[in-house]
Amino acid sequence: MNRKDYREGGGPYVEIMDSTLRDGEQTSGVSFLPHEKLMIARMLLRDVNVDRIEVASARVSEGEKEAVRMICRMASQIDRLDSVEVLGFVDGHESVDWIEACGCRTINLLAKGSLRHCREQLNKTPDEHFADIHHTVAYARSKAMTVNIYLEDWSEGMKESPDYVYRLMDNICDSGIRRFMLPDTLGIMNPLQCIEYFRKMVKRYPDTHFDFHAHNDYDLAVSNSLAAVLSGAKGLHVTVNGLGERCGNAPLSSVQVILKDQFQAKTSICEDKLNAISRMVESYSGIAIAPNQPIIGDNVFTQVAGVHADGDKKNGLYQNALVPERFGRKREYALGKNSGKANIMKNLEELGLVLTPEQARRVTQRITELGDKKEIVTQEDLPFIVSDVLKHDAPEDSVKLVSYVVSTAYGLKPGANVKVEINGQQYEAGATGDGQYDAFVKALRYIYHKYLDRTFPILSNYQVSIPPGGRTDALVQTVITWNDNGHQLRTRGLDADQTEAAIKATFKMLNIIENERNNEI
């Protein structure tokens, strides 16, 4: 679909500018490597289809310059160079020259949007600052650059020095600037103030393109973003997962769904890619997504209460417009002490398991007991629980661990020797790795490749937990997520030894895959 097609029909079109790679990188502890910036930028432009991306601040470092060059080369190849923007400063020629040297064609100029910032940070009069802005804008335009301008601390400026804001706008609004970007730099506004201030700007400058840039200090970034659009903003700034300084910025996923569902606004965003970009940024940033984060959290499409599962079965009584398939996900029904019969039956249906009412009662009782112990029960655990509880002609494991030895010694790489039985045939291998479990998996991978000519599933996530206040002999719960040729499954192991818990989870996964394979033959 051509990008212009998104703009046809329906409600107002709102530009989405993602600033994950600039403002989002100001999150404490976050620093993206150049190739990570490239991967994020490519997904944002090519897959998520945001209108614009702000990728760096000028004059930061040589590494930053190389990252911007890489992104601009990539953007040129997919005909999106005009969508790449870099923050620049009112510093004469320096920022403009730095950005031009990177191959970027758009500068987002950072000017002072409050009298307090102008006087106390720059130590200049408004007229002196306005003159400096004109000089930098004129130079950028002489280089055929698109110029957008931030009015830094605009919200405070409207609150304490509106005359300064209007003088600034009157002075520069006819200087060839493409977009005027109004930030709530300190995150101080509420939606009512946002509406008031934005309407004043739009009324006074009706033909001007205004963006809004929200910060989340009062947890109002998303609400303020919607208020800005309701009041005439033509563009919004977001970050993936709400990354940003202090409390962060408005999250891309939340802003998108609220614009579409609550305001019927049009954007270019491909919603089924929101989860993928969130997971990529989570991995590169090291900042975990909260399980209850709307749209992208692990738990947001998981029903826990049994009454909800029952209602979903009866014409989707507990579902809203935020259906998981819209975001490339699926609804799940948690298993635990609150799950009840309906949740369990939903999971059994997905697995193709049919139980009598009495069998279902006994399985429900067992899962409730496990939930009381605060154990996590996954859908992949369910067949094992059924086999364990019912004891009715349960098939033997197709993949069995016959024996293994793992070793570690100071100055030497950990090693593992493993003997397994797969469909009645025994195989043996040894390997070294970066840890005992890594060595164990490498030995298994060797067996599958050499003797079975099959690929071994990829480990995509590994979580370990122990009870709060646990001692050195506490039970360790290991939950591992696997990817087997695009099919994702999650298995759990519980043991006092962490390596043994991981091994149990691994063999659960291998048996699930092997049983499916054997059933197809």
> Which residues, at least 6 apart from 54, have a Cβ–Cβ distance to it below 8 Å?
17, 18, 19, 21, 22, 23, 85, 86, 87, 108, 237
- Judge residue 46's burial from the number of C-beta atoms within 10 Å of its C-beta, 0-12 exposed, 13-18 middle, 19 or more buried: middle
SS3 477: strand
Q: How far apart are CA 320 and CA 302, in angstroms?
A: 13
Q: Which two tokens stand for residue 197?
A: 């201030």
Please name every residue paired with 479 in a beta bridge, in sequence order, or none if there are none.
Answer: 463, 492
Residue 169, Cβ neighbours under 10 Å: how many?
17
Q: In this structure, how many other beta carbons lie within 10 angstroms of the beta carbon of residue 273?
A: 17
Catalytic status, residue 22: yes
Query: Using alpha carbons only, what angle is made at residue 30 by residues 223 and 433, rounded to the nearest 5 degrees?
Result: 130
139 CB-contact burial (10 Å; exposed 0-12 / middle 13-18 / buried 19+): middle
Distances (CA, A) of 493 to 1, 9, 434, 475, 508: 46, 53, 21, 10, 8
Amino acid at 498: Q
Report the C-alpha dihedral over residues 357, 360, 365, 371, rounded to 10 degrees: -150
How far is the C-alpha of 385 from the C-alpha of 321, rounded, in Å?
Answer: 34
Whether 152 sits among the annotated catalytic residues: the reply is yes
Q: Active-site residue among 22, 42, 105, 179?
A: 22
- The residue annotated as part of the active site, out of 25, 64, 152, 380, is 152
DSSP code of residue 44: I
Residues 6+ apart with CB under 8 A from 130: 167, 168, 171, 172
Residue 335, beta-bridge partner list: 377
Looking at residue 423, its amino acid is N
- What is the Cα–Cα distance from 398 to 380, expressed in whole angstroms? 16
CA 211 to chain centre: 23
Task: Give catalytic residues, as residue numbers.
Answer: 22, 152
